[in-house]
Amino acid sequence: MNGALADVGATISDHMDNILRLFKPGAKIAVVVRHPGFPERDLVMTNDAIAEVIACLERRAASEARR
Cα–Cα distances in angstroms (integers) from residue 38 to residues 16, 63, 67, in the given order: 24, 27, 30
Lowest mean pLDDT among 33-37, 39-43, 53-57: 39-43
Q: What integer pLDDT is reported at residue 54 of this predicted model?
A: 97
- When divided into structural domains, the chain yields a total of 1
Looking at the predicted structure, is the pLDDT value of residue 61 above 80?
yes
Q: Is the pLDDT of residue 2 over 90?
A: no
Report yes or no: 38 and 29 within 8 Å, Cβ to Cβ: no
Q: Which residues span the domain enclosing 28? A: 3-65
Q: What percent of the chain has pLDDT over 70?
A: 99
| Global pTM value | 0.81
DSSP letters along the chain, please? --HHHHHHHHHHHHHHHHHHTTS-TT---EEEE--TT-GGG-EEEESS-HHHHHHHHHHHHHHHHT-
